Copies of this chain bind each other. A is one copy, B any other.
Amino acid sequence: MVTDPVDASILSNLQIRLAARPSGLPKPSDWNLARQAVASPEPGAVLIKVLYLSLDPAMRGWMNEGKSYIPPVGIGEVMRAGGVGRVIASNNTAFAVGDHVSGGLGVQEYCLIDAAGIARGELTRIDLAIGTLPQWLNALGMPGMTGYFGLLESGQPQPGETVLVSGAAGAVGQTVGQVAKIKGCRVVGIAGGADKCQFVVDELGFDACIDYKAGLVRDGLKLYCPKGVDVYFDNVGGEILDTVLTRINRRARIVICGAISQYNNTTPVKGPSNYLSLLVNRARMEGIVVFDWAERYSEAVSQIAQWMREGKFRSREDVVDGLANFPATLNLLFSGGNFGKLVLKVADA
Chain A residues in the interface with B (C-beta under 8 A):
67-69, 237, 242, 256-259, 262, 268-289, 292
Docked Cα-Cα span, A37 to B237, in Å, equals 55
Q: Are A287 and B282 closer than 8 Å at their CB atoms?
A: yes
In the assembled complex, the CB of A232 is this many whole angstroms from the nearest CB of chain B, namely 14
Q: Residue of B at shortest CB range from A66?
A: B280
Q: Please give 11 more A-B residue pairs, beta carbons under 8 A apart, in addition to A67-B280, A269-B276.
A: A242-B271, A262-B276, A269-B274, A271-B274, A271-B275, A275-B285, A277-B287, A278-B287, A283-B286, A284-B285, A284-B287
Q: How many copies, total?
A: 2
Q: Are A288 and B282 closer than 8 Å at their CB atoms?
A: yes
Q: Residue of B at shortest CB range from A284?
A: B286
In the assembled complex, the CB of A274 is this many whole angstroms from the nearest CB of chain B, namely 7
- The winner among A269, A280, A281, A283 for most chain B CB atoms within 10 A is A280
In the assembled complex, the CB of A222 is this many whole angstroms from the nearest CB of chain B, namely 14
Contacts of A274 in B (CB 8 A): 269, 271
Contacts of A67 in B (CB 8 A): 280
- Which one of B242, B271, B287 lies within 8 Å of A270 (CB-CB)? B271
Contacts of A257 in B (CB 8 A): 279
